[in-house]
Amino acid sequence: MRPAIETQHGFRHMNRHEAPSPNAIRRWARQWCKEGSVACNKPPDRPSSVRTPENTARVLASVGRGPRRSASKHAQSLGMSDRSVRHILHSDLNLHPYKLQSVHSLSDRDKEVRSQFCYFQGILPKNPDLPNYLLMSEEAHFYLHDIVNT
Spatial separation of the C-alpha atoms in residues 149 and 128, rounded to whole Å: 34
Confidence bin at 143 (pLDDT 50/70/90): low
Which secondary structure element, helix H or strand E, spans residue 10, and what is its range? strand 10-13
Q: Closest by alpha carbon to 17, among 4, 26, 28, 29?
A: 4
Cα-Cα-Cα-Cα dihedral of 83, 84, 89, 94, to 10°? 100
For the stretch 79-135, pLDDT in tens is 999 899 999 998 888 887 665 556 667 778 887 887 777 777 788 788 878 777 776
Q: Is the pTM of this model over 0.85?
A: no
For the stretch 35-45, pLDDT in tens is 888 787 777 77
Query: What is the three-class DSSP state of 52?
Result: coil
